[in-house]
Structure 1
Amino acid sequence: MTQQIVERYGDQIFNHAATSEDERLGALTAELDPATFRRLGSLPIQPDWRCLELGAGTGTVARWMSERCPDGGVVATDLDLELVRRNDGDAGVTWTHHDLTRDDFPPGSFDLIHARYLFCHLRGRDQDLARVVRWLVPGGWLVLEEPARFPIEASSHDAYRTTGMGVFTALAERIGTDCDWPRDLAGHMGRAGLIELDTDVAYSMVGGGRPMGRFWELTVEQLAPVLCAIDGITPGMVADTLVRLRDPDFREPGMATVGVTGRRPVAGPPAAA
């Protein structure tokens, strides 16, 4: 690429007004929700917990938390609330326009905070993480889930691997995404002051009509002009990748999801930013 464009996620790339964005995020939701609900369900959630969902997306996780915390309530935030407004009306969820990098909450506001596929897209992710930890009550829980690129990097299919790695290159240059950062997600959360850290990694596959395959297909489609401007990626490689992703017999690894659960200590402040 010859020109670097500095923007935020959703400004141009993956804008919620894009024709396929609702379906793209819906496919990702279908892929990730089961593991997310399992991670959250492992916590000692109480009906009066106050919860925060950062980067609400389609709103499924916020609604899940609302069903379990009817006496506490859920605040769900995003830069663009269009997708959740289409299905709003759920009691207990407050949908709020909020920029994590600029807007704050009072210290000790929440018993549970969750974010998925969010911090990897933030340029000041470690400083932002330290701020988010301060929003927890002492003893409160933070659950982060972030995408890692290493399974795609190891794929044996040349066009798919090269195009997929091009996606990460494009996102890094345009919005500052870092999908290697999650490989030490527990370390980042520990340095932010959290304890009782528990990590697991969920792997996905593309092809065969799988949700991650559809998500990746729509991602490559949206980014096709940007990908073709990267050295080493041709329009033919992008086209071949899209054909393969639609092939019911194609089987290749998709992104991994690193999930970490951590708790703010009951005594003492969290680590400084």
Structure 2
Amino acid sequence: LEEAGVARVLAVDRDARFLSERPAPGLDVLEADITAPGFAPGRFGLVHARFVLMHLPERERVITALAELVAPGGVLVLSDAVDLTSDRTPSTPYTAVMRAMWQGLRATIGTDVSWVPSYPHLLRGAGLQSVAAEIHVPPLLRGSPISRFWADTWERGRAAMLATGLVDDAAVDGAVRYLDSDDCAALSAGMLTVWGWEPR
């Protein structure tokens, strides 16, 4: 609340049990589905969705609906992952496993980060102004938080990754060791953050 410079925050999630377990002054929790027709909890000075839309279908419709929740003079901020393992990326244990991870996520829960770079265009199409963006790519260093995050993510998603046929157990284990070595020379997936302002 203090960092955002606001007195109250409404946190929305389909499963709000973890939010409800840690009540905080000024934090209201709403268990709801933002994709549901008629979802309209009010209008806000700041609407922020972080690592949400990349997992949802009908993304363009959801972005339009989120823009409608922004009060005049307010801002919509979207943050999602961008895959930096293109066909020209050097082949490493990390890049092979990341490609399997993205494909496994798409096959199991519908995650699709390929369209995330279109966010600026979509925000403009939703009527927002002064649209801008930035990308953050944390370094993959031995023992770094992002390296530990990917190793844990791969372990949790191992079955879906193996089902793609792109990797086997040895490849996943090798990628974990690669992240924990001084030889690691790869780019983490980035986080693209895009924002646009509702006209007054």
2:109 is the alignment partner of 1:172: no
User: Which amino acid letter does the alignment assign opposite residue 75 of structure 1?
Assistant: L
Aligned to 2:90, which of 147, 153, 156? 156
1:95-148, CA deviations, whole angstroms, 9 ceiling, x for partnerless residues?
111211116115x61111111111111111110110111111122211111110
Question: 1:39-50 to 2 correspondence within 5 Å?
Answer: none
Q: 1:248 Cα shift? A: 5.3
Moved over 6 A (4+): none
TM (normalized to structure 2)?
0.90
Instruction: Please say if residues 207 and 249 of structure 1, whose CA atoms lie closer than 8 Å, have aligned partners that are also in contact.
Output: no
Contact 1:201 1:258 in 2 (8 A): yes
Secondary structure at 1:228 match in 2: helix
Give the distance between the partners of 1:160 and 1:258, measured in 2 at CA: 20
Pick from 66, 71, 80 the counterpart of residue 15 of structure 2: 80
Shift of 1:63: 6.8
Distance 2:159 2:35 in 1: 29
Contact 1:152 1:254 (C-alpha < 8 Å) held by counterparts? no
User: What is the alpha-carbon distance in structure 2 between the residues aligned to residue 154 and residue 194 of structure 1?
Assistant: 34
* Aligned-partner SS, 2:167: coil
What is the CA–CA distance in structure 2 between the aligned matches of 1:152 and 1:99, rounded to whole Å?
33
Does residue 158 of structure 2 align to residue 221 of structure 1? no
Q: Distance in 1 between matches of 2:159 and 2:87?
A: 21
Show the counterpart of 2:175: 241
Alpha carbons of structure 1 residues 118 and 63: separation in structure 2 relative to 1, 3 Å: farther
Q: 1:139 to 1:191 in 2, by over 3 A?
A: same
Q: Compute the RMSD of aligned alpha carbons.
A: 2.0
Task: Check conservation: 1:121, 1:175, Cα contact below 8 A.
Answer: yes
In structure 2, runs of 5+ residues without a counterpart are none
The residue identity in structure 2 corresponding to 1:136 is V
- Cα distance in 1, alignment partners of residues 2 and 186 from structure 2: 32
Q: How far off its partner does 1:195 sit?
A: 0.8
> Which secondary structure does the structure 1 equivalent of 2:48 belong to?
strand
Contact 2:104 2:163 in 1 (8 A): no
TM-score by length of 1: 0.67
Q: How many residues align?
A: 199
**Secondary structure of 2:189 counterpart:** strand
Q: Which runs of 5+ in 1 are unaligned?
A: 1-61, 267-273
Task: Please give the alpha-carbon distance, in whole angstroms, between the structure 1 residues aligned to 2:58 and 2:90.
Answer: 33
Match of 2:187 in 1: 253
Superposition deviation, residue 246 in structure 1: 2.9
Structure with higher RCO (Cα < 8 A, 6+ apart): 2
Task: Among all aligned residue pairs of Structure 1 and Structure 2, give the percentage whose two residues are the same amino acid.
Answer: 24
SS in 2 for 1:233: coil
